[in-house]
Amino acid sequence: MLLGQFQSTGRDLFNLGLVASSTGNLSVRLRERIIITRSNVGLNCLEEPDLIETGLKRNDRATPLASRDLLIHRAIYQATRASSVVHAHPPHAIALSLTAREIVPSDSEGNVTIGTVPVLGQDIRPDALAEEIARALGEHRVVMVSGHGSYAAGQLLEEALSYTTMLEASARINCLLRSLKVGSFPQVQLS
């Protein structure tokens, strides 16, 4: 059952263009353990060996196989009540993250579902921002790391996926609005 949840979430992320090849990662918390995707695995074709079980607070034999974002996932679980984390690379949200300190959905659905999304500082190693990401997810459903990607937390993988897809949908709308305002089309006055 758990494998099926990872597989459907990974396929959805890939099919929606929110991850590419071996980018992004998923995890769930099971008490004092974490199940996280293996490092450098394609989320669109997950199999049982691609799910790595390791400790919430300490390393064990399986830890070297886990995603490089393990430290971030651990920090999120220790700072929040989340049971699932989705890390993706939504292209429109990443583009906006390079020009803003927060992403504010212009659409009502995004505004209600995810609200303002903070954009955290850019770092070559996102794990250097682990504590900052975890703190932000204590107050927000999804956060962005500038130029890198999103982290969404929820009780289920599908909930975290829904916040991720809503972020990208709202970012797409914001990008369209920006193109209408600064594009080469003449401005039209609406009465």
Give the span between the Cα atoms of 90 and 132, in whole angstroms. 20
Q: Give pLDDT, residue 184.
A: 43
Q: Has residue 94 been placed in a domain? A: yes
Q: Has residue 6 been placed in a domain? A: yes
Does the pLDDT at position 190 exceed 50? no
Give the span between the Cα atoms of 59 and 38, in whole angstroms. 14
Q: Has residue 96 been placed in a domain? A: yes
pLDDT digits (tens, 9 = 90+) for 150-187: 999 999 999 999 999 999 999 999 999 999 875 444 44
Q: Has residue 186 been placed in a domain? A: no
Q: Has residue 153 been placed in a domain? A: yes
- Chain-centroid distance, C-alpha 16: 13
CATH, residue 25: 3.40.225.10
DSSP string, 49-93: GGEEEEESSS--TTGGGB-TTHHHHHHHHHHS--SEEEEE--HHH
CB 153 within 8 A of CB 85: yes
Tally of domains in the chain: 1
Tell me the residue range of the domain where 147 lies. Answer: 2-179
Q: Give pLDDT, residue 154.
A: 97
Q: Has residue 41 been placed in a domain? A: yes
- Give the chain's radius of gyration (CA, Å): 17
pLDDT digits (tens, 9 = 90+) for 27-74: 999 999 999 999 999 999 999 999 999 999 999 999 999 999 999 999
Q: Has residue 187 been placed in a domain? A: no
Looking at per-residue pLDDT, the higher value among 104 and 22 belongs to 104
Q: Has residue 191 been placed in a domain? A: no
